[in-house]
Amino acid sequence: MDSIVKSKLAKIKHVALDMDGTIYMGDSLFPYTIPFLERLKRMNISYSFLTNNPSKSLDDYLQKLAKMGIQATEEEMYTTTVATIDYIKAHYPSARRLFLLGTPSMISQFEKAGFVSTADDANDVPDLIVAAFDMTLTYSRLCRAAWWISQGIPYIATNPDKVCPTNLPTVLVDCGSICKCLEHATGRQPDITLGKPDPNMLIGILQQKHLRPDEIAMVGDRIYTDIAMAQNAGAVGVLVLSGETTIEVANSAPNPPDVIAANIGELGELLAEAQQNE
């Protein structure tokens, strides 16, 4: 192991884990995930789960993890739905009526937070538009979103991801691509795009755990979200090659990750080696 990499990993006290492409792919848990989490516990390294995928509510994510054998709490989960709700409450405190391009599970999280989901109706005017990764998207709702966007209503995107990782023979068009479609139709980009690489989810963990940025590792499979988020927060960026990014792309990145590992199983070995003499 490179001495610089070793010195960075030796300081790690918390691991923030991306989910899809990092701990599982679609509905298939990677075989090294549970051993990795158990290894972190033995090393007294805490961990949390971060995802740019807003398609599930916190409850649904916790149930999904539980079915895979991972017992997690709401405090260990950070999603872009939560980040978007927090952002709206902070910056648009009077907003209650939202036109949501999102799954029913995501919409339930917004409703639980006190918001109203407006209908696909020209008379049901929203205070704000939220575009997300919507696997239930219909053409009519896409057109209605474009109409409200063209009217100048505040417009937020939950995440910039172009595609969602999958082990199925298809391409899962994600929020960033939906927003590109809306931009082409309206000439307008989102007023803000939340989720990784925006550092707010990671900064929240730093504050909660009372850690320095160099004591947290952000682990994920994408350079333009996971690693960029780590860099924006001053944390250690660990790229795993179990999802979207290939080694060729990683090696040619203008802002390369601090650490590259085949998967989190290999990362566990690197952490153990780096911290054994600490």
What pLDDT digit, counting tens, does each position of 243-274 carry? Answer: 989 999 989 999 999 999 999 999 999 999 99
Q: Is residue 26 very low, low, confident or very high in pLDDT (cuts 50, 70, 90)?
A: confident
The residues that bridge with 212 in the sheet, in sequence order, are none
pLDDT of 278 > 60? The answer is: no
Q: Is residue 104 very low, low, confident or very high in pLDDT (cuts 50, 70, 90)?
A: very high
Secondary structure class of 198 (helix, strand, coil): coil
Report CA 138 to chain centroid distance, whole Å.
24
Tokens of 241: 């090659």
Distances, alpha carbon 196 to alpha carbons 34, 220, 225, 231, in Å = 24, 10, 5, 11
When pLDDT is averaged across residues 115-139 and rounded to a whole number, the result is 98
Over the stretch 137-196, which tens digit does the pLDDT of each residue have? 999 999 999 999 999 999 999 999 899 878 889 999 999 999 999 999 999 999 999 988
